[in-house]
Structure 1
């Protein structure tokens, strides 16, 4: 795998070095007080930059206030260490605080964490997402002696079958939650409607990941899902404008709905906010459908 960052401006290289140091320090702190040897002796094996900053097609748009993330794959030595809330949320918070402060870190950071056995299995199963990382990713840190498995591309027929099954399951499931959002909105059950809409949004994103890459991140975090999806197709940026306080508030209410709409008595969302969000999620649905159908058509063409 590539280890060179010559294509990045010096400021971004400095930021990445600080991010890598922060991730390593955060992991060391997270396992330091563990009593179970399996956790205390856990290893961080690799930190790999992938996505737009690895490919040299990142976006930095101060006017539109859109900036591509540093997308990082964190590889650890066993699955217990992939528990994000337990081992990685504090580090994620430090990175977010640094970004908000803006004194040094100017690029958002998105972390995904997998164990080495899982990554190797995904490569052996021909999962595009991990194959792209193995081909295009840039190693920022690694412990020696832990190579990735050789990728084994799927046949066009198998790729089509898996992609179609994933897309049908997740897209149809998202539509069901979208229908429930409408029903709850009509009944005036705004909080339940918000939760249903969050679930629809999350599942549309998962449907997109699975049909395009045969992989989807294990998260309910809409920010992370959204950023990764926009890396796959930058037209998705248009779904969520943030040019007004109303737009920003609506998106935050949707993002928070997974937990707060169900459990917090302080969560409030209006019918107007829900209607706007429903319109945007409808746009997301239509775009995901178009991208999914185009991908399936391309796979069918490879078979003929």
Structure 2
């Protein structure tokens, strides 16, 4: 796949990586269709592949000193809902991205992607959801099938935006205090795995809260690495919460990320008391920062606010 001339702002190595990412996505999707028995299940199509975020805008970050790297963010638009979100091809593509990032080193930049149906994206644009409106306006189309235009975006009023954001904040933020308290309680009782799971849930809710309040959209995911990347993309104040410059910090966050499944079901899962103390401190910091970010956004959208 040859990328469009609009990506001339990217270095050659970045263009090659994006070409590789696109290749993997199409390969896994096409391979999944071959295994289907019914004609209906083989009708899947990728209609559009859109790069959004910092690499589309040209303001990506590669801070080798701190360890922070911007990710590639891709929106995949498919023809039917059955081929979106939980379709098996996307899990396999994610596994290949991780393998090429950490083992074969064919990729030097993490790849994040979300998948939505054509109807869903157009519905989101018709509702004026800022996340999709921004992608339609600023995203770089890497591939598109002819005959599938995006709907002209609607503009939400500040009042409607604030009402939705307030609802999301009230839904997602309050329970984080209980989950943090639960993590400390189970840590003190020596149940480190359950403490880790509670802490994962608090962290997940905080990232969903941030994304929903600021963008009125959050992907359906439990993966903290992915949610962290998406939240930090629109709220850079969150970046410094998680140091990337030490093995201890990276290991601790990885164990928190894996706690959603492994802390409950895997006998091989391990986390130390020291790691939990550090993680609780970091998630508490995250909670305070998210509260500040969301409150400022909600206050700024009040009628009469400057």
Taking structure 2 as the reference length, the TM-score comes to 0.94
Residue 231 of structure 1 is matched in structure 2 by: 233
Check if 1:51 corresponds to 2:53. Answer: yes
Correspondence for 1:300 among 270, 281, 302: 302
Contact 2:84 2:115 in 1 (8 A): yes
Alignment of 1:89-238 (within 5 A): 89-101=91-103, 103-238=105-240
Contact 1:3 1:139 in 2 (8 A): no
Q: CA RMSD in A?
A: 1.7
Deviation at 1:189, TM superposition (A): 1.7
Q: Take 1:243 and 1:33, find their aligned partners in 2: how far apart are those partners? A: 43
Deviation at 1:286, TM superposition (A): 0.9
Q: Go from structure 1 to structure 2 and tell me whether the alpha carbon gap of 1:200 and 1:103 turns closer, same or farther (over 3 Å shift).
A: closer
Contact 1:48 1:74 in 2 (8 A): yes
Task: Tell me the SS of whatever aligns to 2:174.
Answer: helix
Task: Tell me the SS of whatever aligns to 2:149.
Answer: coil
Most deviating of 38-47 and 234-243: 234-243
Residue 20 of structure 1 is matched in structure 2 by: 22
Contact 2:65 2:245 in 1 (8 A): no
Deviation at 1:303, TM superposition (A): 6.5
Task: Tell me the SS of whatever aligns to 1:113.
Answer: strand
Deviation at 1:32, TM superposition (A): 1.2
Q: Take 1:250 and 1:159, find their aligned partners in 2: how far apart are those partners? A: 36
Residue 260 of structure 1 is matched in structure 2 by: 262
Check if 1:251 corresponds to 2:246. Answer: no
Q: Go from structure 1 to structure 2 and tell me whether the alpha carbon gap of 1:176 and 1:3 turns closer, same or farther (over 3 Å shift).
A: farther
Q: Take 1:249 and 1:289, find their aligned partners in 2: how far apart are those partners? A: 26
* Unpaired segments ≥5 residues, structure 2: none
Task: Tell me the SS of whatever aligns to 1:184.
Answer: helix
Alignment of 1:69-84 (within 5 A): 69-84=71-86
Q: Take 1:78 and 1:303, find their aligned partners in 2: how far apart are those partners? A: 42
Superposed CA deviations along residues 204-233 of structure 1, whole A, max 9, x for unmatched, are: 000000000000010001110011111112
Deviation at 1:85, TM superposition (A): 6.0
Superposed CA deviations along residues 229-281 of structure 1, whole A, max 9, x for unmatched, are: 11112232211113222222211110110001111122222222111100000
Correspondence for 1:287 among 266, 289, 294: 289
Q: Take 1:97 and 1:297, find their aligned partners in 2: how far apart are those partners? A: 43
Task: Tell me the SS of whatever aligns to 1:4.
Answer: helix
Taking structure 1 as the reference length, the TM-score comes to 0.95
Q: Take 1:213 and 1:103, find their aligned partners in 2: how far apart are those partners? A: 33
Residue 31 of structure 1 is matched in structure 2 by: 33
- In the TM superposition, structure 1's runs of 4+ consecutive aligned residues that sit over 4 Å from their partners are 301-304
Task: Tell me the SS of whatever aligns to 1:6.
Answer: helix
Q: Take 2:86 and 2:157, find their aligned partners in 1: how far apart are those partners? A: 33
Q: Take 2:87 and 2:220, find their aligned partners in 1: how far apart are those partners? A: 12
Contact 1:60 1:68 in 2 (8 A): yes
Task: Tell me the SS of whatever aligns to 2:44.
Answer: coil
Correspondence for 1:276 among 275, 278, 285: 278
Q: Take 1:42 and 1:151, find their aligned partners in 2: how far apart are those partners? A: 26
Contact 2:299 2:305 in 1 (8 A): no
Deviation at 1:302, TM superposition (A): 5.6
Contact 2:85 2:116 in 1 (8 A): no
